[in-house]
Structure 1
Amino acid sequence: MNGRLLWLTAASFFFYGWWDWRFIFLIVFSGLIDFYAVLAMQKSPQYKKLFLIISVIGNIGSLSVFKYWSFIAENIDTLIGLSGGQSLLSQTPGLFLITPIGISFYTFQSMSYTIDAYRNKLKPTNNLLHFFAYLSMFPQLVAGPIVRAKTMLPQLLQTNKVSKDERWHGFQLIVRGYFKKMVIADNLAPLVVTAFSSAELNQSSLYWWGTSVAFALQIYCDFAGYSDIARGLSKWMGYNFPDNFNHPYISTSLREFWTRWHISLSTWFKDYLYIPLGGGRVSKVRSHINLWITMLVSGLWHGAAWTYVIWGAIHAFFSSVERITNWPEKLSKNTATKIVAWFFVTLQVLVAWIFFRANSVGQAWEIVKIMFSFVGDFNLGWGLNGTIFILIIVLRELAVVTLPEKQFKNVKPIPEMLFYAMLITLIIYFRGEGSEFIYFQF
């Protein structure tokens, strides 16, 4: 068993180190803190809370230094400048200006091990190779899904023979993932990049609504595509990763949206932040405060910029309104009102995506003002190619809503093989220019 665990760990470290070997030491550092913190909890249970605090400080501190240092320093400089002083923290040179790829993912994954051990929700491992095989598992190392230790550690102790059905399922996931990324996301990327990088903003309202739709589908196909590929590879290896996306853009409430979008992260925040704060079991005011804290931290998790914080604040605001008015439930009585609910939820999500993607808060505000001014030419900005790729993914999502699940499961083997052969052909001949996965930066 140790030989297999050593091979998994070494291969994963090689995979991660190929980008920048120096940051292998960072994931090792993060992992060692949590591994030995849990061992210390077992040996000295009376100090469990102390070791948990050490683990959390170590991980959050690592994130703060490598991911948020520039953001923190710039804001400190701004505050000192407003008070008449002078600070040069933001000019600190060196490694602190480089964000290690996937640091937010493996840090949260490692912390879940310590927290679950503290709560007695998992059986800790005393085998360092066992732990690092879990923490550094290469398919999901740099962009998720965030796999809990209590789910993955037992799987790593088993030597599962991969069945024919599992190989086929893994193949399906991988092909669908590459199709989402290379055909849809990579073909939409130039439209979005052009819109947000132009020296002067397009003054057409419809153009920016179209751009927001394009980005919403780009980031969905980009991230869901990676998750599908990771899950498919895990199937081939004999393991099971959790599903990370479940058609989020068919949601009729923001609450539903967050049960369908980036599921592994939203459940992580729910279990390790929102519920410990009191969740919805406290007073109404306090439950809204808990919601806001969770969403703001979620925004900051995505990036060291105020645009991400505001993105989280927008979701928090509309979620609070949703709770207070209970309007989605009031509109869930029939198909027509559900469509109305879907429209308003989609509208909220699209506006929030502008802040997520914009280069600055100022740019985001200007774009939103243009969107709601309802002026300019009738120009979605998609072009023929963009329209085709957007139509493909929209029709796919509509099929999920309108066709019963059993119709998908009853597809005959030969037509199914032809379908995936067609997807592979499209991946080869209709792929976009190619760009790194969006969530690599997080």
Structure 2
Amino acid sequence: MSFLNKLFGNKKQENQPVNQDEKKELLEQRKEDELAGDTNESEELESTISLESLGDLITFSSGPVGVTTGSAATDFYVYEWFIKETGEVFYVGKGRGNRYKAHHERAYEAEKIREMYDTDVRFVKKGLTEEEAVELESQEMTRILNETNDRLTNRMIPFFTKRGNGYDRSSNTPSFQFETAPTLYVNEIEEHYYNLKPQLFDEVILESLKAPVFMNWNIDDQVNTIYGGNVEKYLGETKSLLLKNGSKVLKSQYAKSTTAWIYVGDESVTKYNLFQKNALDRIGRKIPTYHLIDVWRFLKDNIDEFPPFPLINELTNLNPTHNRVPLEGIKNLYDVSKGFDEGMPYWQEGDKERKNGNLERAIELFDLARYNGYEAPALYKSYTMAFRKLKDYDNEIAIIDEAIERSQTTDGGVNESFILEIKERREKAILLKKKKEGIN
């Protein structure tokens, strides 16, 4: 884990962009809006932090949330939306012209509050340059989060505030405990403004385990507390018990034959409700929703013999043939941003080739993306799909091993969901390799 993650923790915030692709898209969209005079949705941008080493002293400086477009205008302002009855500020922004009263399409939570409550707007300051407005916007967010109890709906906030924005789990969310299922949680905004409450996962029924789908996301360091850091053990044992019970594990969340969703991590009440609505629309019914630890315990208590966790022997005859440079030969190895900019176009072009069936050409382009420093999970997923299609299991396993190694050492923190997903894919690739080679 990186120094910054150690310092600040690997806090997960709902509805924030979490990968480089989304981040870049949001930055480009924000710039287009501002050039068109349609500013400013400060929740769309990522805060920046710079570290300067001065001898033995390390100092931190927090950059503003917004970005400038180079406008020379001096009629910018900073505004905030608040609830009349309580005076609570729920959104801070900057803009020009009528921006302060316009509908903010991407500020979903703020607009929802405007519909539910009697709200108003006030200006923090007018007659600003763009740079002054960007700076003041961040200062005002910091003031609100440090000096009041107001819950901001801005998705991105400055560093070094005493509180997070309102997307953190509610303080009433039960803490994670070993071998205990969490609740479907609500964030502070949902609890305070919409009166939503945490919900329990459904009680497990054997009949609903005939064709479950595992939901392998939202697995962070906190959730790992449930599994004592060994989520694979519980997942492996549960799948073994399901197979013994005659169940078939599905992959599609909305498959017509789906009988249950089994969460490995946790989930918000809002997303749970959205998924259930989608299920009603697509397959005409709601889906029983369980947590892995509850299913594990239910099966353990109701099946006579508890099978051992299946272990696949390590391969001794792995001989991948490829043109990939060794890790130490990768350009921009320690510059993620530059690696993203220079490598992603090759991955995008390669994935188009993969989808068109030009697998060898796709792999050549993936190699170029990797060589230039692109290391996103999307690249490794594309690699594995191409190798699987070619039945090149040696290369599939080798690239998965590299993905696991790099994911566990990346500065962005460990992506548990991705690692779990590709480890399952690795097991399948090993079985296919053994079958291809006639090994029992």
Same fold (TM over 0.5): no
Question: Which structure features the higher share of strand residues?
Answer: 2
TM normalised by structure 1 equals: 0.24
Question: Which structure features the higher share of helix residues?
Answer: 1
* More RCO (CA 8 Å, sep 6+): 1
TM normalised by structure 2 equals: 0.25
